[in-house]
Amino acid sequence: MSKPVSICVIGSGYVGLVAAVCFAEMGHHVACVDNDEAKVKLLREGGAPIFERHLPELLARHRGRGVTFTTDLAGAVEQSEAVFIAVGTPQGDAGAADLSYVEAVVAEIARSIHGYKVIVEKSTVPVYTNEWIRRVLHRRGVDPQSFDVLSNPEFLREGTAIMDFLHPDRIVVGASNERSAEVMRRIYEPLTSGSYYAGPDALPGERSASAPAPLLVTSAQSAEIIKHASNAFLALKISFINAVANLAESVDADIVDIAAGMGMDSRIGPSFLSAGLGYGGSCFPKDVAAFHWVAQQQGVNFQLLDEVRKINETQRQVFFNKVRAALWTLRGKRLGALGLAFKGGTDDIRESPAIHVIQMLLEAGASVTAYDPAAMERARELLPPTEKLSYATDLYAAATDADALLILTDWKEFSEIDLTRLKEVIRFPIVIDGRNLYKPQEMLDHGFTYLSVGRPACYQAEEGRPRKSLM
């Protein structure tokens, strides 16, 4: 590749840490900055603060060589050609993104600019944030000729973030001039030229030397909207298929078949058409709210986004009602709950539908024993163990003596349960699947009453002969 670029990444959360190690994997020199001394110490000593596939591998490969971790923002900025801002932008009370962390970082950057710097928005921010960053720098006396501000939104999925970064569908760069765009082309050249994929140690994936990653250069405003619009559209697909699932269930249709038929249409595609408990995590909920807020500020009636949010919130109540209908009353019932993270492959419980459902069950008087392969430590901080809530060491322990087992997160191991063993430990053979991980007939054949999302409920007949029935 061309000459490596010296990069500063500010923030070591999901976006910042993944970006830092992936830039190092691409051959650049990276300083990752965070003001959390404990987190920096953990990273320096070989730990990983988040659960993410391939992250430990890349940290071990590049720590102390391609990437260093520091609390010294000024020093890292001074030594870097490109500065990526990857700090949190939490949702405010009115739905707008809280940009106070971004502003604070920009103020610190302003004190450390000596020579030309490309300052890159990597955090998810509303349109015109690039202009506000520029204004903050101007107000603090920084020479306009010594910096450019760009937008380079991330399109990472938790659980597959490393692969999404190194094998992207697209790389979007919002630049106001060719000088700054050229710096970004140099940074991403290993991916766009295919040279990274030709290397012997490259992580294999969708991209290759003959099919490298595409790069799209737009205005900064367009890049900022691309990020919010993409996440809002994916959230819309999830809410749409869940609304269809509720209709399908009411007429004895099967949402899995319906989604398969829809997904065969190349204009629609199969992704994000899995009915379930709705979306969660750190991105979709706040990005839908922030995009809606931006539209309101511009006088645009984007009511569709409000409906997307309402459907998503309703879906958790729909599932709760399904559990209550199956067990008649929840007070005094003991339930096993599989899943705490908002989806499989991550330990992130932010806006997790699983957590919300468990809270509703506890409020209704049920006792819950929960298990998750990665998220239990984080869940204990939010939901400490009580007389009504405990955490199991594995999925079979969660199911032991339970009146019903609930599947709340789509971990792979939850789709591979030994059903014979499960039936031996559970009190009543009832499985209520919020992720549609099993085929109804398979569950009936193993003697379970099985309820899922958007499909007819399957009850085991009292005389032992299986039958299907609507709820």
Tokens of 441: 């007939």
Tokens of 158: 């938790």
What is the SS3 assignment for the chain?
CCCCCEEEEECCCHHHHHHHHHHHHCCCEEEEECCCHHHHHHHHCCCCCCCCCCHHHHHHHHECCCEEEECCHHHHHHCCCEEEECCCCCECCCCCECCHHHHHHHHHHHCCCCCCEEEEECCCCCCCHHHHHHHHHHHCCCCHHHEEEEECCCCCCCCCHHHHHHCCCCEEEECCCHHHHHHHHHHHHHHHCCHHHHCCCCCCCCCCCCCCCCEEEECHHHHHHHHHHHHHHHHHHHHHHHHHHHHHHHCCCCHHHHHHHHHCCCCCCCCCCCCCCCCCCCCHHHHHHHHHHHHHHCCCCCHHHHHHHHHHHHHHHHHHHHHHHHHCCCCCCEEEEECCCCCCCCCCCCCCHHHHHHHHHHHCCCEEEEECCCCHHHHHHHCCCCCCEEECCCHHHHHCCCCEEEECCCCHHHHHCCHHHHHHHCCCCEEEECCCCCCHHHHHHCCCEEECCCCCCEEECCCCCEEECCC
Radius of gyration of the chain measured on its C-alpha atoms: 24
Active-site residue, 22 included: no
Please give the distance of CA 398 from its chain centroid, rounded to a whole number. Answer: 25
415-440: buried (b, 16+ CB within 10 Å) or exposed (e) per residue?
eebebeebeebbebbbbbbbbbbbeb
Please give the distance of CA 465 from its chain centroid, rounded to a whole number. Answer: 42
Strands 215-218, 334-338: pairing is unpaired
Please give the distance of CA 121 from its chain centroid, rounded to a whole number. Answer: 19
Instruction: Single out the catalytic residue among 8, 22, 32, 283.
Output: 283
Residues noted as catalytic: 283
